[in-house]
Every structure is written in structure tokens, then in C-alpha cells.
Amino acid sequence: METTTKRLEPYQLLEQRLAEWMGYHPSQIVSCSSGTAALHLALEALQLSPVSEVGMSDFNMIACPRATVMAGLRPVFYDCDDRLNLDCGYIPQFGPEVPEVVMPVHIYGRRCNMEAVMDAMCNSPDDKFRQYVVEDMSELHGVKPHALSDAACWSFYRNKIVAGEEGGAVVFHNREHAAHARQLRSLGFTEAHDFMHVPGGHNYRMSNVHALLILESLKNYEWNEKERRNIELMYNDLCPIEWRMPERQAVWVYDFRIPGLTNELQTSIVKTLNSKGITARHAFKPMSIQPEFRQQYPLVHNPVAAQAAREVIYLPVQPGMTTETIAKKSFEIIQQALDSSKK
């Protein structure tokens, strides 16, 4: 008697390939429609108390606190360190002020000090202070999350290292959390599909069209990563030593920091670069000054994040497109702008 093997849909095949790539079991991986959806699913799947707080860096991408709010939780902003990542020295130790969740975001391809995060969050002598760690890996493709993280999230937006037009994924330490997230991503449908829904579900399914694009990108990861390292070396040769940022564990973009740069001059440089076809970007702005959060955080003072927001610019890293000519032109434009500002 012949047996038939059920053919995997592209989104399921992607979950399998991601599991192989990162060293997990496919049952731990949940693909979804975007990186923001991944963050939201991760927080919802943990089934936290509605008064829970999620600690994260003030120097951050807006998707992180927004996903937190969508999950009915409260973001708490801490200052960043000189690597632009969450400064773990600000995380309260065990007690009533400790956040229930910490969300380390690996900014611009630099891995957070996960050992320090775990020291602060996972060694509570009292079970009532159960804490969770949810990593945002969107800018750190190719690096495995910490073994003790409860969840880790990826974006596969088209500007990421492994990319489609859109898409995301979450890996969970606990397979029950993954199973719950799998229901939530499909409007809360259970396997019975009897129109009795798990509360809190959303339409966060990944389309097969996007999954196919991401699978193709994943096949090319080794070539992509090598080319990105070559572009990083090319930028390093052109970037003044005093502007260079610390080592990256993944080359998503090339960020650099010009001491003393003002908001106005930063904006002028970015606009000029973009007008020449070079997709440079401002650094992230602190979350505590964003319109939707600043009333809640009127007295936040995170000086490192505020200064980095003014002084950091990043340049694109696009294998096959970022040439030495473009790189030279970028730094020539930047130097001309600085020279003109001194006249």
C-alpha cells in the first residue's frame, strides 16, 4: 500500500529551513507577516499580565514599543551604551521595579551583551519574579539568539540581510508558546477550525509568495554575508578612524558617528546623499520623544541615546550595488558638508 507524504506549503518549508539554519526544531519556529507581527506574537504568546512592563533601549526602532502597546503592555525606556544597544546597567535587579520582560534589540548588527541581560533577568531567587527575554534579531541575521531567551524575532523586510518584500518569524524556547502563537497568527483558529477562536488572534499569516522570496534569499546567505563584509572593509578604508563604530556581528548597514554633529547638519548630509542616489539614513530617534510616548515619559533623560541620535548616520550595504565609487562619493559629500559648515 502506498503512503503519501503531505507536501509542505512554502511558509512551512521556510519554518523548516529557518530551524535548520539556526539550530532549532521546526515546531519552535512561527513564520508571520512582518517583523512587527513577530514582536507582537511573541509578547502575546507569553500571556503576560496586562500591567506588565517591557524594558528596552530608548535608542530603538518604533516597532518595538508599538508591538508592546498592541499587546496591552507598557514599554519602559532605558539609555543605550556606546555600541547603541541597551545599557544593561540600567535594568533594575530583582524587586518590585523589575520589568517582567526585557527586549534586547541588536542595533545595526551589533549583538547586545546578552550575558549581562541574563544575569539581570534570569537568576531571581524568588519564582514570583519570573522574567522573560524577547530578542529582536531583525538587524542581526545569521547570529543565533541566546539559548535562554524565551523568544527571538526576525524581520525579512526587503532591506534586511535575509529578505523578501515582507515577512517575519519568531523562535520560541517553549514549544507550547510556539503552538499558541501559531493559533494567534491565524485569527485564533484552532486545529479543529470549527470557528471557536482563541482570544487575541490576528491575521498575521505569512503568504506563500513572500515565503518563496525569503527562501531564495536564505539560499544566498553565505555569498551575501561575504559581500557585506567586503563592503564593510571598503567603508572602513574610507571612514575616518574617529568616526568608526565598534565591531559588528552582522553587517546590515554601515553606521558611523561624527562627534559634535548637530541635528540640522545631520539632516542636511542625509538629504544631500539621498539626492545623489545614496540611501543614507538618520540614526534612530529616542522612543521617549516620539509623539505617542512623550506625554507618558516627559522627564526621561537618556543622554547617550539623545547624543547618538544626532551624531550617527548610516550608509547602505547592498551587495552588487554598493561600489567603491559610491562609497568614495559618500564620504566626499559628507566631508564637503562638514567643511562648508565651518565657513
Confidence (pLDDT) at 125: 47
Q: Give the pLDDT of residue 137.
A: 98
Q: Strand 168-172 vs strand 29-32: parallel, antiparallel, or unpaired?
A: antiparallel
Question: pLDDT tens digits for 73-132?
Answer: 999 999 999 999 999 888 776 555 678 999 999 999 999 999 999 887 765 545 555 789
Half-sphere exposure of 197 (CA within 13 A, CB side): 11
Q: What is the pLDDT averaged over residues 314-320?
A: 97
Residue 315 has pLDDT above 80, yes or no: yes
CB-based contact 252:163 (threshold 8 Å): no
Per-residue pLDDT, 1: 46
Domains and CATH numbers, the chain: 10-217 (3.40.640.10), 221-341 (3.90.1150.10)
Q: How far is CA 258 from CA 124, 137, 205, 237, 325, in A?
A: 41, 26, 42, 16, 22
- Residue 2 reports pLDDT greater than 60: no
Residue that has been written with the C-alpha cell 559628507 in this structure: 334
Average pLDDT of the residues in 37-63: 94
Alpha carbons within 13 angstroms on the beta-carbon side of residue 296 total: 12
- Comparing 17-26, 80-89, 186-195, the range with the smallest average pLDDT is 186-195
String of b and e for 104-132 (b: at least 16 CB within 10 Å)? bbbbbbbbbbbeebbebbbeeeeeeeebb
Identify which of 7-16, 120-129, 334-343 has the greatest average pLDDT.
7-16
